[in-house]
Structure 1
Amino acid sequence: MSTVETATRKPPRRPKPAPGSRRTSPLRVLGMVVVLLFTAFNVFVLYWLLASSFKTPVEIFTQPFQLPRQWFVVGRPLRNFIYAWSQAGFGSAFLTTVLLVAAAAVTVVLISAPAAYALTRLGFRSSNGMTNFIAVGMGVPFQTVIIPLFVGMSEVGLTNNLFGLYLIYVALSLPFTVFLLTGFFRSLPDEMEEAAAIDGASPVRTFVSIMLPLASGGLITALILNTIGLWNETLLAIVFLQDNANFTLGRALFTFYGAASYQSEYGGLIAGITIVVLPMLVLYVVLARRIITGLTLGAGK
């Protein structure tokens, strides 16, 4: 190569940085502002909820943003919570919700895990089509099937029945959970299955002894997400439960809303909302890192 050509050759062009990769990028600044404002708003709402749950109705309306005082002065700081727990039947509803949600969430994961494994690891020719078909279930709003569900469940005597609501919870949660777990099973190494096959392990033994422990992060993530979603569910409980003895927390709160509003018992009403919201909020704060890590792992592979 001649010296002239070497001298006239232009250096390679530097690639442009990705959008938002610069520290002073306007897009990054705008995103941070939006995130901070959204976080501040949610923290403010949480503060108002917790503070109002310890206030009298007069304090809620006249001093909405100040710290509670009157119930602490008279020595009854938990009065609103005691009222909601006893008058709204939150005691039995809390136990019912815990048992129902735990049973439904565990059942969903137990059914979805082998289904996702079969779709992703056993080499079915139509596995991609079946996965897409199952994913379609996530796009169907469950509100559109409430009337057919109610008619069908009433025909077999499963309305106003916790077992019937349990079946509905499991059925409606399966599409999302199967779709979520397929990402985890796809990310697992093939070498482990090949080694198990060489050792003579059956597909069932390979799944139970090798693949399930490797996918434990995804299983826990699916279990937590189903627990949070089913705990906060209210519409199905309103439609399918009529007996007070079978009420879940969401259903009991809906009934309590009418009575508390009629009696102007807004402190007890907000305390009831706090009882419903706080357990899942604490669960998410404690396990947020595991949930985000699990979702990122499943989506990234």
Structure 2
Amino acid sequence: MFVLLWVAFNIFLLVWIVLTSLKRSKDVFDAPYQLAAAPQWDNYVSAWSVAEFGTAFANSVLIVGISAVLVVGLAAPAAYMLSRARTRSAGPLTTFFAIGMGIPLQAVIIPIFVLMQNISSFCNEQFGWWDDRLSLGMIYVATSLPFAVFLLTGFFQSLPEELEEAAALDGASTLRIFGRVMLPLAQPGLITALVLTTVSLWNETLLALVLIVDTDQQTLPQALLGLYGTMQYTSNWGGLFAGLVVVVLPVVLAYWWAGRRIIEGLTVGAGK
């Protein structure tokens, strides 16, 4: 019952934000729960142009997309080896990744900043070029790996070993077994890890604020904060809610798409 109430509240909140984004700024406070008399689609145009959402959206897609793919690409073989290893170090290594999930980002933000500054200075001196988006992507991969490895380790452990043994008897190597047998079976887990990583990085703000200085390289959460500062002085609250919709809607669509794919993958696996 509590879960249903929580889901209903979140759906109501999402619908309210979308409807408010179409109101005049005056109506946002005067009639917060009423429909807009005339939809103000200009709010989206204003938010997109004032906050430069086009550049920020492209940066977020580039950084988050590449980082999420790298996270899953690195976590999958690591998780597979940890789930199938028979050595004494496999258990402690899995625990090590689990511990990494519990380290708060705020506790290591200063070392991260110093490390990225040193890398940036070195590359600028040696090669004359560095892009802060690379710094952000590297940290995104490093901070997202513990969760992805921990999640996929449990998923690989749930898969039967009989197919691996049969493939090994046919002469398949470990690499071939992993690529041809285990990865297709692990598709639901891989999609889950990819989507959860994408969603968490899409909403990430602290690291972006610390590592990204150039406005041409800022991500959507940074652009939304800039929009909030601008709209606060211009009192364009409808435009601010329009900016919220632009940031939130891709995450909602990702969950909707992922839910269907995960169910399909589980159904195919059960059928086989």
TM-score if structure 1 supplies the norm length? 0.81
Q: Is residue 58 from structure 1 mapped to residue 26 from structure 2 by the alignment?
A: yes
Match of 2:227 in 1: 256
Correspondences of 1:70-219 after superposition (within 5 Å): 70=38, 72=39, 77-157=40-120, 161-219=132-190
Q: Sort the Cα spacing of 1:140 and 1:146 in 2 relative to 1 into closer, same or farther, 3 A.
A: same
Identity of aligned residues (%): 52
CA contact (8 A) 1:221 1:294 kept: no
Query: Hey, what's the Cα distance between the residues in 2 that align with 1:147 and 1:277?
Result: 29
The residue type equivalent to 1:200 in the other structure is G
Tell me which stretches of 4 or more aligned residues in structure 1 moved more than 4 Å: 289-295
Query: Hey, what's the Cα distance between the residues in 2 that align with 1:63 and 1:198?
Result: 71
Query: Cα distance, 1:37 vs. partner?
Result: 2.8
TM-score if structure 2 supplies the norm length? 0.90
CA contact (8 A) 2:187 2:265 kept: no
Query: Cα distance, 1:290 vs. partner?
Result: 4.9
Q: Sort the Cα spacing of 1:294 and 1:257 in 2 relative to 1 into closer, same or farther, 3 A.
A: farther
Query: Hey, what's the Cα distance between the residues in 1 that align with 2:88 and 2:16?
Result: 55
Query: Cα distance, 1:291 vs. partner?
Result: 5.2
CA contact (8 A) 1:160 1:242 kept: no
The residue type equivalent to 1:197 in the other structure is A
Unpaired runs of at least 5, structure 2: 122-129, 267-272
Q: Is residue 220 from structure 1 mapped to residue 191 from structure 2 by the alignment?
A: yes
Q: Is residue 68 from structure 1 mapped to residue 31 from structure 2 by the alignment?
A: no
Task: Using CA pairs under 8 Å that are at least 6 residues apart, name the structure with larger relative contact order, 1 or 2.
Answer: 2
Query: Hey, what's the Cα distance between the residues in 2 that align with 1:93 and 1:84?
Result: 12
Query: Cα distance, 1:264 vs. partner?
Result: 0.9
Q: Deviations along 1:235-275, whole A, 9 cap, x unmatched? A: 11111111110010001111111111011111111110110
Match of 2:269 in 1: none
RMSD: 1.9
Match of 1:231 in 2: 202
The residue type equivalent to 1:46 in the other structure is L
The residue type equivalent to 2:29 in the other structure is F
Q: Sort the Cα spacing of 1:86 and 1:79 in 2 relative to 1 into closer, same or farther, 3 A.
A: same
CA contact (8 A) 2:191 2:258 kept: no
The residue type equivalent to 1:124 in the other structure is T
CA contact (8 A) 2:55 2:216 kept: yes
